[in-house]
Amino acid sequence: MTEDIEITEIKDYLSQIVPFDSLSPETLSRAAKGIRISYFSSASGHVEIDYDNPQLYIVRTGAFEVRDKQGELLDRLGEGDFFGFPSLLTGENVNNKVTILEDGLVYLIDLELFKQLRNDSREFDRFFNRAHAKRMKRFEQQVGSSAPINITIESLLTEGVVSLSPDDKIVDAAQLMSEQRISSLIILEHGQLAGIVTDRDLRSRVLAVGLDGQTLIRDVMTENPSSIDCKGLLFEASMMMSTHNIHHLPVLRDNEVVGMLTTTDIVRSQNNQPIFLIGEINRQQTLEGLVSLSKRFPALLQSLIASDARAEEIGRILTLLSDSLTRQLLKLGEEQFGTPPFPYSWIVFGSQGRMDQTAGSDQDNAMILSQTPTPEQDAYFKLLSEFVCHGLDACGYIYCPGEIMAQTDKWRVDLKTWQGYFKKWVDTPSPEALLNTSIFFDMRLLSGSEELFELLQTFVLKKTRGNQIFIASMAGVALSSRPPLGFFGKFVLDRDGEENKALDLKHRGVALINDIARVYALAEGISEVNTQARLDKLLGKAILSEKDVKNLKDALEFIGHMRLKNQGKQAARGKKPSNYLKPGDISRLLRHQLKDAFEAVHSAQNGLQLKFTRGLF
């Protein structure tokens, strides 16, 4: 009797999680009866995987982390999540390490039972195949790939379903398609998908055979058309349409029609891929053309977020786009105002310098001139810089509130003057100078003379490396703000500008890690400015342990990913993307992981304080 109660409890639980909810009652009972239960303690460190007997692990309680053999984070798992399925699907040993973050109860399903469940349910089989493909692609995605591999169908859907019933007339279908400027219609009967009608049907099944507009739709529609779930990948839909030679695919959510995917949608998604957009940017000959292209960037960002791309990858892609815009504006400006009187370097700072831009980034840029300009020469560079800065603003990269832009006379000067600026900031680290460190010390050459930039960068790194007073002052700035954790691991919330209490993931998370990495990089004379690249360069150096470096890298990716996912949800709701996240909007597991990430930042700040400030801050 006790066993029956336990099996009933397991069955009830499984019926509430995807994809077990797609199994028939009989198959679900068989699954519940075949499950073994295991308890994993965090004290043991990690899960011992028996590769001779692969199993599906279903997390009932607790928290786990999956890393590949190189130590790269693949997934973080909580209640209702799975691991172990790659070995079940491929028949090969997948040498991932599963760390136990929090004691947990896990249900186990062996290979034979897993095969039976896949055979009994197409949805069950597709779920795990997609999960495996998504995990593989997440870390293999190449920036610039033009294939719509990671994009989900859901990310392309527009609001509303345009439909008629089978008993409506063909003339009604033609009029509605013309009004809506669409090439197909969903046909619903009693709220369920009954068929589709396309413009091709109107030509070949109506006009070509002499039928009139009073013919019922049910007499000419394509019945029981192929369809796809909105959670599927666009790549999967593209393959299905190609295989069956179809151009319209109804999209379902919980067996209800939510839209229609067309080959035009797929082409449009490819046109929003980075490599296509960059190519188009480089072909534009007017500011208006660049502004028009920049309006596609939000759709790209949404598709990247929906495809679960890494925060680091998204930041790099968005920066590549703004880089391309800037270079094309410089080209158009030089064509309009003439050849520059002498060489210059166009440099960028802040998030563009680090290549980690997000939605709503402003512009931070400057020019290094190869010589002191005459008034006439300076007038040329001012015109050029104003043209570029105005163009960037028109494309959505707003003017820097602090006026750190090449159009500002102070930031459009010769190499000697720039060296003087940095010398003063390093030798006399006033509050204003230290405020500049978070922007100017993350600089990158974007266009123009490499020699000028390298001379300035070499000068700066020589000044900062081993400069204990300056590094201590920078460390003090990096410690002036702390992660949002109070006593007993409770979140400390800030006001988000709308009188809501929330977590500031930028200023109390990502920015703190940027600050920490910058201090160590300048102390070591590292020329990299991207934060992940700086941390990579610190691996193996005595100044920071390998464990601390990896913890910071993981924390940066996790907090950055949470920030972008939240911005994607805000944009989907029609809200302006912000850096604020309400803890109640995420699961208990994600809150637990976010606290761990903030703890890693807090620990790194303590290490920074001990190493550099010597009790000064």
Domain borders along the chain are 2-140, 153-259, 272-452, 476-613
Structural domain 153-259, CATH architecture: Roll (3.10)
Identify the pLDDT of residue 574: 77
CA Rg value for the chain: 29
Domain 272-452 classified CATH 3.30.460.10? yes
3-state SS, residue 287: helix
CA 389 – CA 199 distance, rounded (Å)? 47
**Under a CB-based contact definition with an 8 Å cutoff, are residues 173 and 196 in contact?**
no
Pairing mode of beta strands 228-229, 248-253? parallel
Domain 476-613 classified CATH 1.20.120.330? yes
CA 578 – CA 585 distance, rounded (Å)? 14
Count other C-beta atoms under 10 Å from residue 215's C-beta.
Answer: 16
Closest CA to 132 of 145, 116, 144, 118: 118
Give the fold, CATH level 3, of 2-140.
Jelly Rolls (2.60.120)
Across 406-413, average pLDDT: 96
**Under a CB-based contact definition with an 8 Å cutoff, are residues 442 and 349 in contact?**
yes
Closest CA to 198 of 151, 246, 238: 246
The dihedrals phi and psi of 559, each to the nearest 5 degrees, come to -65, -40
**Model-level pTM?**
0.62
Q: Is the pLDDT of residue 444 over 80?
A: yes
Listed range (41-45, 129-133, 519-523) with the worst mean pLDDT: 129-133
Across 297-301, average pLDDT: 83
Q: Which residues pair with 228 in a beta bridge?
A: 251
CA 518 – CA 474 distance, rounded (Å)? 9
**DSSP tag of 491:** B
Q: Is the pLDDT of residue 141 over 50?
A: no
Bond into 19 cis (ω within 30) = yes
Q: Is the pLDDT of residue 357 over 50?
A: yes
Listed range (175-179, 429-433, 608-612) with the worst mean pLDDT: 429-433
Listed range (84-98, 394-408, 468-482, 594-608) with the worst mean pLDDT: 84-98
Q: Is the pLDDT of residue 359 over 80?
A: no
3-state SS, residue 65: strand
**Under a CB-based contact definition with an 8 Å cutoff, are residues 127 and 18 in contact?**
yes
Across 327-342, average pLDDT: 95
pLDDT digits (tens, 9 = 90+) for 149-186: 456 787 777 667 889 999 999 999 999 988 888 888 99
String of DSSP letters for 174-207: HHHHHHHT-SEEEEEETTEEEEEEEHHHIIIIII
**Length of the chain measured in residues:** 617
Q: How confident is the model at residue 275 (pLDDT cuts 50, 70, 90)?
A: low
Closest CA to 442 of 522, 337, 555, 512: 522
Q: Which residues pair with 133 in a beta bridge?
A: none
Closest CA to 466 of 439, 428, 437, 426: 426
